[in-house]
């Protein structure tokens, strides 16, 4: 036994430092000394080392370190006995625990010094883990060692090799019952913290080195999650939690891993997991914990792309959220972004709401889900029953307002489709300034912001527009070109018309002249916020916001009938998008109150900066549509979310509207709502 001889010299060095006294210590020291040569002594020491005095613990670690310094050779790995020594030594290190290594600088340093040896063995043993690690000791060691690293010498977790081992440990083998460990990967990602951009680069490199695609990596997580939830009542919740945590990390790692995590197969897996958890009868602490993790993962995914919202809504998350929210709530009763199920469910609803602001298809997906929910009495009853007495109250409020907003949007989008309130535009050529349907204008190809009625107008205006247009850098061009802005802009024009009475009153109170008036609409919070300001304010920011320059150019262009158009700044997902909207009061005029509808208070969708609501006093097409839909739902014995109910209501409204417009002698414009 070559190793044993090597160790004996060390024992001689230390024998003189033995503390005289306590017989306990004497016998312990003997035991520790024997741990150099006798495996059963080492095991005994390991099992008790957590309760040793610090001095003895240091001694134990000395011995472990010597074992771990053994060089790797194939002979050793094939032989069962030396492998046992190494495993016991690795195990001993983790059993000393984080507390020991964190205690002082000396201990930290000795761990860091020993790390190359520990790592060398972790790496060597990973290769053969499926054959030898029948009892899962290696997996435990791997898990605990990375955890100690995280607290004691976190820098090593940034090394490519260390990350690579974590990835390989996670991937495991293709064998169904093969071992894998997810915690080391989680520890490495946690180490990046705010430096996620760096982390994502390294992770991509590591995946490449391991010859694993991001899809492979994520598919592995999904397959493992699916395998666990197939066990239903006997799910391994802790492992499930780890897996979903890993998925959440993959989402945050940007680039290929994010892309891989935002596929519909992943969304489907998460929603199915959530459903399985909610169906579980036993509300254990672990169950609540996993539910929190799933919700957080969904929320994280939602913040990346709106397309993800389709996937999860299609999979049916919407009808799961009320129940999930009642799982646990912030005890303070003031949900704020946090780990609790209720606050995360609220954050998810808020993300979905933003998606609904800019996407017709999204509203329709949600509508279909709500139809399912409210049609099935059983489900609706269970929704009400699960709404708890104490927690979930705030969620209910958010849910109710979301549902009301969806109804409003469903009606409004249908009206838009039927040609209601089409968008107008103005030719930017100052000698032309023609006003007309936006769909008929051409856009400046560079900024896509400035509109022209013809090529000749564009040519005539280029010498003046080019200065502002060329000042735009890529970032601002991107903001101006975002395609999802069409609907929010169109809605902004509609709502500004709708609330014009309040807007006029408020602007007078603020002393803003009508020709100076601009509006900032924030879709990031609900009720949405509408602030009035003097558009000259934006001129102060032109250095930083050259995109406002092209808008200012339009505003400077003319003083002619400024009441027809307005600068609107749309705030969405913390970004500000300037746009010009045209107001046309005819679209929000009162129409005849549909008979047999009950007047009720509208949902407050917009407030000003002081929290005062904007209200519409008139029975305009939107309100009439909502009231009629509710009436028809009762008549047709369907829910208001039913497609035919909504179509019937909006068709009736448009008919009535055209009729009244014609009575006024006005000609209803028939324009396409597409914005090409």
Residues that bind Zn ion (CB under 5 A): 427, 429, 432, 434, 444, 446-447, 450, 453, 457, 469
Q: Residue for token digits 């946090």?
A: 338
Identify the CA nearest to 188 among candidates 140, 155, 221, 141. Answer: 155
Q: How far apart are CA 89 and CA 67, in angstroms?
A: 7
* Identity of the residue, 457 or 487, whose beta carbon is nearer to Zn ion in the bound complex: 457
| Phi and psi, residue 469, nearest 5° | -65, -40
* CB 477, min distance to Zn ion, A: 9
* CB 464, min distance to Zn ion, A: 11
* CB 479, min distance to Zn ion, A: 13
* CB 555, min distance to Zn ion, A: 15
* Identity of the residue, 188 or 453, whose beta carbon is nearer to Zn ion in the bound complex: 453
Long-range contacts of 270-274 (CB under 8 A, 24+ apart): 270/244, 270/294, 270/297, 270/298, 270/301, 270/312, 270/315, 271/298, 271/312, 271/315, 271/316, 271/317, 271/320, 272/226, 272/229, 272/315, 273/225, 273/229, 273/240, 273/244, 274/298, 274/317, 274/320, 274/324
Q: How far apart are CA 344 and CA 300, in angstroms?
A: 10
Q: How far apart are CA 225 and CA 242, in angstroms?
A: 10
* Identity of the residue, 392 or 425, whose beta carbon is nearer to Zn ion in the bound complex: 425
Identify the CA nearest to 208 among candidates 159, 257, 245. Answer: 257
* CB 458, min distance to Zn ion, A: 8
Q: How far apart are CA 208 and CA 186, in angstroms?
A: 19
Q: How far apart are CA 542 and CA 552, in angstroms?
A: 9
* CB 546, min distance to Zn ion, A: 11
* Identity of the residue, 118 or 444, whose beta carbon is nearer to Zn ion in the bound complex: 444
Q: Residue for token digits 């090593």?
A: 156
Write the secondary structure of 137-161 as one string of H (helix), E (strand) and C (coil): HHHHHHHHHHHHHHHHCHHHHHCHH
* CB 533, min distance to Zn ion, A: 25
Would you state the structure tokens that stand for residue 608, as one six-digit string?
A: 């000003």
* Identity of the residue, 212 or 432, whose beta carbon is nearer to Zn ion in the bound complex: 432
Would you state the structure tokens that stand for residue 147, as one six-digit string?
A: 């955890």
> ω before 164 within 30° of 0 (cis)?
no
* Identity of the residue, 410 or 450, whose beta carbon is nearer to Zn ion in the bound complex: 450
* Identity of the residue, 94 or 450, whose beta carbon is nearer to Zn ion in the bound complex: 450
* Identity of the residue, 506 or 555, whose beta carbon is nearer to Zn ion in the bound complex: 555
* Identity of the residue, 285 or 431, whose beta carbon is nearer to Zn ion in the bound complex: 431
* Identity of the residue, 356 or 567, whose beta carbon is nearer to Zn ion in the bound complex: 567
**Residues making up the chain, counted from first to last:** 676
Residue 544 is given by DSSP the state T
Q: How far apart are CA 115 and CA 149, in angstroms?
A: 9
* CB 562, min distance to Zn ion, A: 18
* Identity of the residue, 545 or 631, whose beta carbon is nearer to Zn ion in the bound complex: 545
Beta-sheet strands, E only, within 464-587: 517-522, 528-534, 565-572, 575-582
* Identity of the residue, 467 or 662, whose beta carbon is nearer to Zn ion in the bound complex: 467
Would you state the structure tokens that stand for residue 647, as one six-digit string?
A: 């179509």
Q: Residue for token digits 């929010």?
A: 488
* Identity of the residue, 372 or 446, whose beta carbon is nearer to Zn ion in the bound complex: 446
* CB 570, min distance to Zn ion, A: 19
* CB 444, min distance to Zn ion, A: 3
Burial of residue 169 (number of CB atoms within 10 Å: 0-12, 13-18, 19+):
buried
* CB 565, min distance to Zn ion, A: 15
How crowded is residue 547: how many other Cβ atoms within 10 Å of its Cβ?
26
Would you state the structure tokens that stand for residue 394, as one six-digit string?
A: 């705030």
Give Cα 128 distance to the centre of its chain. Answer: 38
Q: How far apart are CA 152 and CA 123, in angstroms?
A: 20
* CB 569, min distance to Zn ion, A: 19
């Amino acid at each position: 036994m070559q190793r044993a001889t090597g160790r004996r010299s060390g024992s001689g060095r230390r024998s003189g430092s033995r503390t005289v006294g306590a017989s306990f210590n004497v016998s312990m020291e003997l035991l520790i000394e024997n741990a150099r040569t006798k495996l059963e002594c080492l095991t005994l020491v390991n099992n008790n080392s957590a309760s040793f005095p610090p001095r003895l613990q240091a001694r134990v670690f000395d011995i472990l370190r010597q074992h771990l310094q053994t060089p790797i050779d194939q002979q050793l790995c094939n032989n069962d006995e030396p492998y046992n020594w190494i495993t016991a030594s690795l195990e001993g290190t983790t059993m000393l625990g984080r507390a020991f290594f964190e205690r002082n600088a000396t201990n930290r340093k000795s761990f860091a010094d020993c790390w190359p040896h520990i790592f060398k063995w972790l790496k060597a043993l990973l290769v053969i883990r499926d054959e030898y690690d029948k009892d899962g000791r290696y997996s435990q060691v791997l898990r605990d060692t990375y955890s100690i690293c995280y607290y004691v010498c976190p820098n090593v977790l940034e090394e490519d090799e260390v990350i690579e081992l974590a990835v390989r440990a996670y991937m495991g083998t293709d064998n169904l019952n093969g071992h894998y460990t997810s915690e080391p990967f989680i520890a490495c990602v946690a180490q990046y913290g705010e430096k996620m951009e760096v982390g994502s680069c390294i992770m991509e490199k590591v995946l490449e080195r391991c010859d694993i695609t991001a899809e492979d990596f994520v598919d592995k997580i999904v397959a493992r999650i699916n395998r666990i939830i197939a066990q239903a009542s006997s799910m391994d919740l802790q492992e499930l939690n780890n897996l979903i945590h890993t998925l959440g990390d993959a989402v945050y790692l940007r680039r290929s891993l994010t892309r891989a995590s935002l596929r519909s197969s992943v969304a489907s897996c998460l929603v199915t997991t959530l459903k399985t958890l909610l169906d579980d009868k036993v509300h254990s602490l672990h169950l609540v914990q996993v539910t929190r993790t799933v919700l957080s993962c969904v929320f994280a995914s939602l913040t990346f792309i709106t397309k993800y919202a389709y996937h999860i809504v299609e999979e049916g998350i919407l009808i799961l959220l009320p129940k999930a929210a009642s799982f646990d709530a912030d005890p303070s009763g003031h949900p704020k972004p946090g780990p609790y199920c209720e606050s995360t469910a609220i954050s998810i609803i808020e993300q979905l709401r933003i998606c609904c602001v800019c996407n017709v298809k999204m509203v329709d997906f949600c509508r279909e889900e709500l139809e399912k929910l409210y049609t099935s009495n059983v489900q609706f009853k269970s929704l009400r029953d699960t709404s708890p007495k104490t927690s979930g109250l705030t969620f209910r409020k958010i849910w109710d307002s979301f549902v009301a907003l969806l109804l409003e949007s469903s009606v409004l989008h249908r009206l838009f489709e039927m040609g209601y309130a089409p968008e107008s535009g103005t030719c930017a050529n100052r000698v032309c300034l023609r006003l007309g349907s936006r769909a008929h204008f051409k856009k400046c190809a560079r900024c896509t912001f400035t509109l022209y009625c013809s090529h000749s107008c564009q040519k005539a205006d280029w010498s003046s527009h080019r200065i502002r247009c060329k000042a735009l850098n890529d970032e601002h061009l991107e903001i101006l070109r975002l395609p999802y802005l069409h609907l929010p802009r169109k809605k902004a024009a509609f709502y500004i018309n709708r609330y014009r009475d309040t807007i006029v009153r408020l602007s007078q109170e603020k002393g803003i002249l009508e020709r100076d008036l601009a509006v900032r609409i924030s879709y990031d919070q609900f009720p949405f916020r509408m602030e009035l300001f003097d558009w000259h304010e934006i001129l102060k920011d032109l250095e930083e916001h050259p995109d406002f320059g092209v808008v200012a150019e339009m505003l400077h262009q003319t003083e002619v009938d400024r009441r027809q158009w307005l600068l609107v700044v749309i705030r969405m997902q913390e970004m500000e998008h300037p746009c010009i909207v045209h107001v046309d009061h005819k679209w929000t005029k009162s129409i005849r109150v549909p008979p047999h509808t009950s007047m009720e208070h509208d949902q407050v969708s917009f407030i000003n900066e002081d929290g005062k609501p904007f209200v519409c006093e008139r029975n305009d097409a939107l309100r009439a549509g909502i009231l009629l839909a509710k009436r028809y739902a009762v008549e047709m014995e369907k829910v208001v979310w039913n497609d035919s109910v909504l179509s019937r209501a909006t068709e009736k409204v448009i008919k009535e509207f055209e009729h009244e417009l014609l009575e006024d002698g006005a000609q209803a414009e028939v324009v396409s709502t597409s914005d090409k």
